[in-house]
Structure formats: C-alpha cells, structure tokens
Amino acid sequence: MTEAMVRISQVRKSFGSHEVLRGISLDVPERGVVCVVGPSGSGKSTLLRCVNRLETITAGRIWVDGELIGYRELDGRGSRRRGLCLLKPAELCKQRESIGMVFQRFHLFPHRTALENVMEGPVTVQRVNRVDAERLARRLLDRVGLADRADYYPAQLSGGQQQRVAIARSLAMSPKLMLFDEPTSALDPELVQEVLTVMRDLAADGMTMMVVTHEMGFAREVADHLVFIDGGVIVEQGPPREVLGNPRHERTRAFLGQVV
Ligand SMILES: Nc1ncnc2c1ncn2[C@@H]1O[C@H](COP(=O)(O)OP(=O)(O)OP(=O)(O)O)[C@@H](O)[C@H]1O
Ligand SMILES: [Mg+2]
C-alpha cells in the first residue's frame, strides 16, 4: 500500500462559535488525486486552507508526507511535556513551501512578466541563482503551454493563461502536494479546458493533488477518489464514477442534480 501523502484526522475548525469543519478524516495517497465537491459554504476552501496552515485547526491533526502540519509532537521524554507545540513561523513557512496552492483568482504579481512571476519563489525564497531559476521557469512555462508568453504581463494574458502561469509558479517550488481551490471557476467557459488539461497532465505525471471543483467531468476522469462535503462533514465518498453515477445519500443527489 502506498503511504498517505496527506492524512487528515478528525479535523475541526470553528470561526468564533460557527463550526465550519465538524470532524473531517481523509487520506490522500502519494500520487493520488482527490476531488472535493459540495455546496457553497460547506467548508471546502477551509479544508484546503487548513492543509497548508493558512487556517489553524481547532481540533484534530493533519500530516503531509509524514510531518504534522503546524505543530511538533512532544514525546514527553526528558523534562519535556507530552502534547503539541506550535511550530515557529520559519518552520511553518518551510512546511508551506512544499505545498502548492492555486486559487480561483490567480494572484499574479501585476508588474512582473509571466517569467518573473514563475522565477519569484525560487529566487527570493529558495535563493536559487537567477540563471538556474530562469531555466526552471522557462521549462515550467513550456510545460503549461506558455513558452511563447514568457515576457507578457498578466494584464496581457487571458484568464486561462494567467491561471496556467499561476500553476507554473506553484510548481517552481517543487511541491510535494498541490491544492487547487476552484481553479477554473473564474474563467470564461472556453478557457476552462486549457487549465483542466494542464491539471490532467500533472496528475498523469504523478503529482499528489487535492482539487475543489465543480467540474464533474474532470472529477470523473481524473480523480481516484471523490469526496462530497456538506455542512462541514463528509457525507459521501468513493470512486468518482460510483458517487456521481449512483449517489447513495439524498443530500448528494440534491447537490449533483444542481451541478451536473
Ligand atoms: N475567515 C473566516 N471568518 C469567519 N467565517 C469564515 C471564514 N472563512 C470561512 N468562513 C465561513 O466558513 C464557512 C465555509 O466557508 P468555505 O469558504 O470553506 O466554504 P466553501 O465550501 O469553500 O464555499 P464556496 O463553494 O462558496 O467557495 C462559510 O460559512 C464561511 O462564511
Ligand atoms: Mg470555496
């Protein structure tokens, strides 16, 4: 059996008195692709944001590649206490670097070209020299089909092209895991496929991915596992064809009836 790349165990997250995640447990195997679907406000983005610690969980644990996210486990040996100890900001940044995240909005630097956007992380965070960073960035732009747009600024690119630059920029940090939060929702319909194609290729190359999406065709073809979340709990999960083709719960049926 492959080791889980992501292990989410009994995770709860509240904002004030509003409990948004109410005991989520989910494993994503290495090289696996999990799609997360569910109604607006069900906690999908919050779940992804907890995985890379943009949000602090209220209870439970998350491991990525065997490392506990956000905390160090104290084993109680010596004079140290048993329990969890918060990681220092630098340690958190290190963890976050290994997890790529692509959002609905592309968040590119507007005054930097596509090439400079992709080079930014390696140069400023990983201290890669500019020659190597540029070589890497050109290779990644080529991989997302934008070799000829390296010198364009975001405003000169279509939404689909900007999103592909954003994916290349995440890949430049050599992530172990990629999180996608509705990466095609802000795109005009005719631009959706070019982004999904890049994501499909990434999955085929063995990238471990968690994808929040309303693209059920993509989920059916690319995901190994589909999770339906409603009200902060996993209502139903399984192989995408089963969940989509033969949903067992009324809530899943109602949701799928609206989006498919
Ligand atoms: N920073 C925050 N402070 C307070 N409440 C929040 C915060 N972030 C999210 N929430 C609440 O948590 C709930 C879940 O939000 P979340 O963004 O995870 O939903 P979602 O499933 O991603 O929805 P959508 O499909 O609309 O993107 C919502 O009720 C939202 O208002
Ligand atoms: Mg969301």
Q: What pTM, to 2 d.p., does this model score?
A: 0.95
The residues near 88 (Cβ < 8 Å, ≥ 6 apart) are none
* Nearest atom (ligand 1) to Cα of 229: 21
Pocket test for ligand 1, best of 14, 37, 45 (most atoms within 8 A of CB): 45
Rounded percentage of the chain residues whose pLDDT exceeds 70: 97
Label residue 244 exposed, middle or buried (CB < 10 Å: 0-12, 13-18, 19+): buried
Q: What rounded mean pLDDT belongs to the chain?
A: 95
8 Å CB contact between 237 and 227: yes
pLDDT tens digits, residue range 30-43?
999 999 999 999 99
pLDDT, residue 120, reads: 97
Task: Calculate the CA 196 to chain-centre distance.
Answer: 14
Dist. CA 260–CA 226, nearest whole Å: 15
- Other beta carbons within 10 angstroms of residue 148's beta carbon come to 9
pLDDT, residue 74, reads: 83
The residues near 89 (Cβ < 8 Å, ≥ 6 apart) are none
Which residues, in sequence order, are bridge partners of residue 41? Answer: none
8 Å CB contact between 26 and 6: yes
Which residues, in sequence order, are bridge partners of residue 102? Answer: 180
Spans of the chain below 70 pLDDT: 1-2, 78-81, 260
Which residues, in sequence order, are bridge partners of residue 74? Answer: 83
* Nearest atom (ligand 1) to Cα of 46: 18
pLDDT, residue 1, reads: 47
Instruction: For residue 1, report the distance from its CA to the centre of ligand 2, in Å.
Output: 32
Pocket test for ligand 1, best of 11, 12, 14, 18 (most atoms within 8 A of CB): 18
